[in-house]
């Protein structure tokens, strides 16, 4: 039994952390961009005497949670084909979890709605603190606005339409561990003060250009960007380039002037996703 699915990458521009005693109500609010580069998840599944899943992190936890609901035992082989770097703020952990449960559910013929499966992936992410809002956003296309936190089906996600020819230019520098940021209470307080303000101001003027502008303000205010990243952002200011840092990863993103951005390193250019998850292939 085989299934492969594609999940869009996701950049968070600014956000607010929302942790609740009920994991289904935990998550984040904020604004981000779904990209037309992402992750392909392939699973080969066979019946077994015990359940095994040969991947790590949120992907493994999400698949184990799903399989705990069925009566049979399965051996699950997982392969990831990354179209974007891991640990750089592109929502790859969420994509692993979401892609894993979508693919395994289809492969074994276990019928669930998209929200039911995405809720499992979201719970895995929140438990590991590897992400809070990516899974809910990655079900959609374009620029997403998480206005109510929680698992898919409990949350509220809005979006804005953008032209199909808009591009996002990415300069990847280094990793930032999401868990290390989300587990710092003082930093989370700073994130929430700034994030709440940026979300309100974005909703007053919901445009892609304003999203990047507010993202840069958020980056300045929460002070997690390494010195190298801030130096490049400040240099881009002198060229009049609207750019910011992806949350949470040491990646600079802009929707303009890739030629100037390329002066600081190799640039990845991607479109904005016009679809959410898709099934690539299914074999029973």
Q: What are phi and psi of 235, to 5 degrees?
A: -65, -40
**Residue 122 pLDDT greater than 90, yes or no:** yes
Give start and end residues of each alpha helix (H) in the chain: 57-67, 92-108, 114-128, 134-138, 178-182, 185-204, 208-222, 227-238, 258-261
Q: Are 131 and 91 in contact (CB under 8 A)?
A: yes
Percentage of the chain surpassing pLDDT 90? Answer: 95
CA distance 20 to 32: 22
pLDDT of residue 203: 98
pLDDT band for 177, please (50, 70, 90 cuts): confident
Number of other CB atoms surrounding residue 262 within 10 Å: 13
pLDDT of residue 166: 95
Tell me where in the chain the CATH 3.30.230.10 domain(s) lie: 2-160+275-283
Closest among 191, 225, 227 to 14, alpha carbons compared: 191
pLDDT band for 145, please (50, 70, 90 cuts): very high
The token duo for 128 is 């590991």
Tell me where in the chain the CATH 3.30.70.890 domain(s) lie: 167-271
What is the per-residue pLDDT across 98-113, written as a single tens digit (0 to 9) for each?
999 999 999 999 999 9
**Residue 14 pLDDT greater than 90, yes or no:** yes
What is the per-residue pLDDT across 247-281, written as a single tens digit (0 to 9) for each?
999 999 999 999 999 999 999 999 999 999 999 99
Domain 2-160+275-283 falls in which CATH fold? Ribosomal Protein S5; domain 2 (3.30.230)
Number of other CB atoms surrounding residue 143 within 10 Å: 25
Q: Are 157 and 140 in contact (CB under 8 A)?
A: yes
**Residue 180 pLDDT greater than 90, yes or no:** no
Q: What is the pTM of this model?
A: 0.95
pLDDT band for 176, please (50, 70, 90 cuts): confident
Closest among 199, 233, 229, 236 to 214, alpha carbons compared: 199
SS3 content of the chain, % helix, strand, coil (to 5): 40, 30, 30
Residues 189-199 have a mean pLDDT of 98
Percentage of the chain surpassing pLDDT 70? Answer: 100
Q: How far is CA 175 from the centre of its chain?
A: 15
Measure the CA dihedral 147/148/149/150, to 10°. Answer: -130
What is the per-residue pLDDT across 195-252, written as a single tens digit (0 to 9) for each?
999 999 999 999 999 999 999 999 999 999 999 999 999 999 999 999 999 999 999 9
Give 7's strand partners. 39
pLDDT band for 25, please (50, 70, 90 cuts): very high
The CATH homologous superfamily to which domain 167-271 belongs is GHMP kinase, C-terminal domain (3.30.70.890)
């Amino acid at each position: 039994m085989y299934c492969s699915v594609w999940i869009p990458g996701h950049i968070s521009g600014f956000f607010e952390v929302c942790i609740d005693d009920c994991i289904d109500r935990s998550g984040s609010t904020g604004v981000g961009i779904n990209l037309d580069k992402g992750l392909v998840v392939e699973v080969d599944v066979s019946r077994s005497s015990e359940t095994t899943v040969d991947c790590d992190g949120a992907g493994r936890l999400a698949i184990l949670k799903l399989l705990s609901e069925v009566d049979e035992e399965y051996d699950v082989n997982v392969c990831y084909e990354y179209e974007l770097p891991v640990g750089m703020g592109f929502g790859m952990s969420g994509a692993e979890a979401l892609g894993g449960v979508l693919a395994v559910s289809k492969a074994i013929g276990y019928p669930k709605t998209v929200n039911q499966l995405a809720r499992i992936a979201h719970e895995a992410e929140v438990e590991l603190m590897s992400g809070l809002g990516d899974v809910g956003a990655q079900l959609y296309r374009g620029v997403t606005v998480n206005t109510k936190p929680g698992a898919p089906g409990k949350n509220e996600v809005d979006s804005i339409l953008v032209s199909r020819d808009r591009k996002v230019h990415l300069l990847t520098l280094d990793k930032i561990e999401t868990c290390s940021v989300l587990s710092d209470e003082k930093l989370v307080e700073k994130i929430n003060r700034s994030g709440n303000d940026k979300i309100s101001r974005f909703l007053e003027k919901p445009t892609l250009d304003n999203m990047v502008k507010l993202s840069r303000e958020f980056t300045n205010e929460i002070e997690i960007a390494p010195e190298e990243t801030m130096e490049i952002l400040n240099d881009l200011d002198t060229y009049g380039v609207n750019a910011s840092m992806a949350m949470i990863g040491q990646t600079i993103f802009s929707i303009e002037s890739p030629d100037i951005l390329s002066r600081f390193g190799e640039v990845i250019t991607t479109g904005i996703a016009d679809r959410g998850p898709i099934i690539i292939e299914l074999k029973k």
